[in-house]
Structure 1
Amino acid sequence: MLAKTAGVKHLVVLVNKMDDPTVQWSEERFNECKDKLTPYLRKCGFNPKTDFVFMPCSGLNGEFLKERSGNVATWYTGPCFIEYIENMPSLTRNLEGPFLLPVVDKYKDMGTIVLGKVESGCCVKGQNLLLMPNRTPVTVDQLFSDEDEVQEIRSGDNVKIKLKGIEEEDVSGGFVLCDATSPCRTGKVFDAQVVILEHKSIICAGYSAVCHIHTLAEEVSLKALICLIDKKTGDKSKTRPRFVKQDQIAIMRLEAAGVICLETFKDFPQLGRFTLRDEGRTIAIGKVLKVIE
């Protein structure tokens, strides 16, 4: 579920310990695991036909991870794990877009250091950026990738950036470093499509939970329920629902406690998908449809 929310589009499910004496590479046991997991993965938004695949394996002796010995699980005719992932299409990174890095953490070391993953564009040493949502202008002093100082960072890199023009105490996790000419959007009120995964009672206006969106955790409250969406047809209800419950999909208006960085899922998925958590449990996943204010 969290993988889907983080943007993972394809899963390889390895059914491990198939070499256990109580299992002995049983096709029946493999199919039992497969049949129990498939409904849950479908509920999380993965398509069983295109989005995930099951493989038997043994982590102890490496069977079906890199290669097969040929004398076990003869009923499985698919590829081994390494063979499968090596043949998957490579990820397309947005190198041409405006620079964007959600801040995961920060610390002080002869200046202000921020850590995060570059989600879009490129950045070079000496470049002027904006730190949102406060619109603080900063300058890149040093760039580090894999602990080595570099002159340029690109989309997909996990990096550390030393900034000039801001103090460490003025930076928080969930802030976003942006291109000065094309900053990310900010707002407090937004409309979102939300799937209720696990919640025993009904949810109605006034309900509050913690929203985890990119690197930010912020309390949000439900301002209004706009409509329900039929799971099978995708049709929207014509009347406003009074409440929403487990396994339903709804479009709702949410309000954050403060101004946050976010984008619509359509424009920028990395800043437009989120989870809602309550009392230590993930109760819903959603995507931002529109930033209101």
Structure 2
Amino acid sequence: MSSLLRLATAGSVDDGKSTLVGRLLYDTKSVLADQLDAVTRASVDKGLSTPDLSLLVDGLRSEREQGITIDVAYRYFATPKRSFVLADTPGHVQYTRNTVTGASTAQLAVLLVDARKGVIEQTRRHAAVLALLGVPQLVLAVNKIDLVDYDEATFAVIAKEFAAHAESLGYRTGSVTTIPVSALQGDNVATKSGRTPWYTGPTLLEHLENVPVAPDPHEAAFRFPVQYVIRPRTAEYPDYRGYAGQIAAGTVRPGDEIVVLPQGLRTRVEGIDTADGPLAEAGAGTSVTLLLADDLDISRGDLIATADRPPRVTDELAATLCWLSAKPLKAGARVLVKHGTRTVQAIVEELTARFDEQTLSSVDSPDSLALNDIGLVELRLAESLGVDDYTDSPRTGAFLVIDPKDGDTLAAGLIGERFR
């Protein structure tokens, strides 16, 4: 079992995500005393008799006043069995981009629905985004079960409908778990509820503690986007030349044969430096400086990869885009593509298809992609990149589409066709 679980929350507005996250923090004793005191005082000011646990996560005054969460917030908590990193994402449809961000590294997602409303349009949209991003495990938390009098039939209808939708998106039996909860009352969040005797499954926290998840991608092929070239040129280090960055996937050891892309230069790793000293091995997520056996022409934006399993080098991308801009995308648009630490100019040659997350069908050759649309596109790049398919290596199979005029992020891209 992994000792760390990365998870994300998603759901529609007012489904109770902030209260649920606050409940998890509270029940796992991950809240400082002064934080709880501040929340208690704010709750009294609102005329509440019990602490409003949503205030533990809605830290911004503007969010509190509007009663919404408008950005991705990362929370950290732990139990004796496992540590957790939780990305709390907003529910408004215009912030679907934040769901993409929060779920991009998640091993599990908790998708909330209001028991009174059931599966709605935004639920299906979020489930489609999570499936496209390859999040392997889903939990459907049927929240506010207390507001339907803990009715088993209501829960069963919602669970059946969502299971069918998830199956259509490619989720297999066993990868979707549905739990009736009341974040406000605490039912089935960290403790079993006596008010749902018909539910025999785990609490949400029990499931999070015990769900088997894929480990971090240390076993994937080694990928290292160069962020910075270090050449101190001092009397102490006259010939030092290191390549700094964060390992995106796989592991590296001194002596490993590597290739530098897109140039195709080959050499081997001579050493691995860190602020705490040299390492005999480094894995995904570690920030290091690589020392190479040969003095090569390498700069920021180049990709260092294992020589026996290199990415492909190409100036054409067939990709799935989650379009995140109010300005529609049309064929012929000129954009920037940011892949790892490299940004190149590109042109959208073709809009191949648009995915309808409500009907789970696709429309060929659409005229445009609008805000929150998911589509297949063909991109031609001004310079070649070393890339992987998203299914093989999420970190080097993903990219951003940027507006060259103002630097705004227009889309999140996944290399490969993720639907059809």
Bucket of the pairwise TM-score, normalised by the shorter protein? 0.7 to 0.9
* Cα distance in 1, alignment partners of residues 140 and 40 from structure 2: 23
CA shift in 2, pair 1:224/1:153, >3 Å: same
Residues 1:265 and 2:265 are matched in the alignment: no
What is the SS of the residue equivalent to 2:252?
Answer: strand
Residue type of the partner of 2:319?
Answer: A
CA shift in 2, pair 1:284/1:9, >3 Å: farther
Residue type of the partner of 2:67?
Answer: C
Residue type of the partner of 1:285?
Answer: A
Q: Which residue among 113, 118, 127 is the counterpart of 2:256?
A: 127
Unaligned runs of 5+ in 2: 1-5, 10-16, 23-34, 59-63, 71-89, 104-108, 113-137, 142-182, 191-204, 233-238
2:355 aligned residue:
229
Displacement after TM superposition at 1:224 (Å): 1.0
The structure with higher relative contact order (CA 8 Å, sep 6+) is 1
Displacement after TM superposition at 1:252 (Å): 0.8
Displacement after TM superposition at 1:221 (Å): 1.3
CA shift in 2, pair 1:111/1:248, >3 Å: same
CA shift in 2, pair 1:27/1:123, >3 Å: closer
Q: Which residue among 322, 325, 349 is the counterpart of 1:198?
A: 325
* Cα distance in 2, alignment partners of residues 196 and 156 from structure 1: 27
Q: Which residue among 238, 251, 255 is the counterpart of 2:376?
A: 251
What is the SS of the residue equivalent to 1:271?
Answer: coil
CA shift in 2, pair 1:126/1:76, >3 Å: same
Task: Describe the superposition over 1:244-270 as per-residue Cα deviations: whole angstroms up to 9, x where unpaired.
Answer: 222222211011110011111122211
CA shift in 2, pair 1:96/1:139, >3 Å: same
CA shift in 2, pair 1:9/1:273, >3 Å: farther
**Greater per-residue helix proportion:** 2
Task: Describe the superposition over 1:192-221 as per-residue Cα deviations: whole angstroms up to 9, x where unpaired.
Answer: 111211233x32122122222222222221
Moved more, 210-219 or 40-49: 40-49
What is the SS of the residue equivalent to 2:217?
Answer: coil
2:78 aligned residue:
none
1:218 aligned residue:
344
2:333 aligned residue:
207
Displacement after TM superposition at 1:150 (Å): 1.7
What is the SS of the residue equivalent to 1:18?
Answer: helix
2:8 aligned residue:
10
Q: Which residue among 155, 168, 181 is the counterpart of 2:284?
A: 155
CA shift in 2, pair 1:28/1:252, >3 Å: closer
Q: Which residue among 171, 175, 182 is the counterpart of 2:298?
A: 171
CA shift in 2, pair 1:9/1:213, >3 Å: farther
1:112 aligned residue:
241
* Cα distance in 1, alignment partners of residues 281 and 54 from structure 2: 52
Task: Describe the superposition over 1:65-122 as per-residue Cα deviations: whole angstroms up to 9, x where unpaired.
Answer: xxxxxxxx9855756xxx99x9486761334443222222222143321112223333
Displacement after TM superposition at 1:154 (Å): 2.6
What is the SS of the residue equivalent to 2:362?
Answer: coil
1:286 aligned residue:
413
Equivalent pairs counted in the alignment come to 258
Residue type of the partner of 1:194?
Answer: L
Sequence identity of aligned pairs in percent?
Answer: 16
* Cα distance in 2, alignment partners of residues 97 and 9 from structure 1: 21
Alignment check: 8 A CA contact 1:198 1:282 kept: yes
Residue type of the partner of 1:246?
Answer: L
2:271 aligned residue:
142
2:67 aligned residue:
33
Displacement after TM superposition at 1:51 (Å): 7.0
* Cα distance in 2, alignment partners of residues 74 and 206 from structure 1: 50
What is the SS of the residue equivalent to 1:116?
Answer: strand
Displacement after TM superposition at 1:35 (Å): 7.4
* Cα distance in 2, alignment partners of residues 184 and 133 from structure 1: 10
2:163 aligned residue:
none
Residue type of the partner of 1:231?
Answer: E
* Cα distance in 2, alignment partners of residues 104 and 139 from structure 1: 19
* Cα distance in 2, alignment partners of residues 35 and 156 from structure 1: 28
Task: Describe the superposition over 1:2-36 as per-residue Cα deviations: whole angstroms up to 9, x where unpaired.
Answer: xxxxxx75259667863564557446977973577
CA shift in 2, pair 1:166/1:233, >3 Å: farther
What is the SS of the residue equivalent to 2:395?
Answer: helix
What is the SS of the residue equivalent to 2:338?
Answer: strand
**Greater per-residue strand proportion:** 1
* Cα distance in 2, alignment partners of residues 18 and 277 from structure 1: 39
What is the SS of the residue equivalent to 2:39?
Answer: coil
Unaligned runs of 5+ in 1: 1-7, 54-72
What is the SS of the residue equivalent to 1:141?
Answer: strand
Displacement after TM superposition at 1:151 (Å): 2.0
CA RMSD of aligned residues (A): 3.6
* Cα distance in 2, alignment partners of residues 213 and 262 from structure 1: 8
What is the SS of the residue equivalent to 1:181?
Answer: coil
2:153 aligned residue:
none
2:144 aligned residue:
none
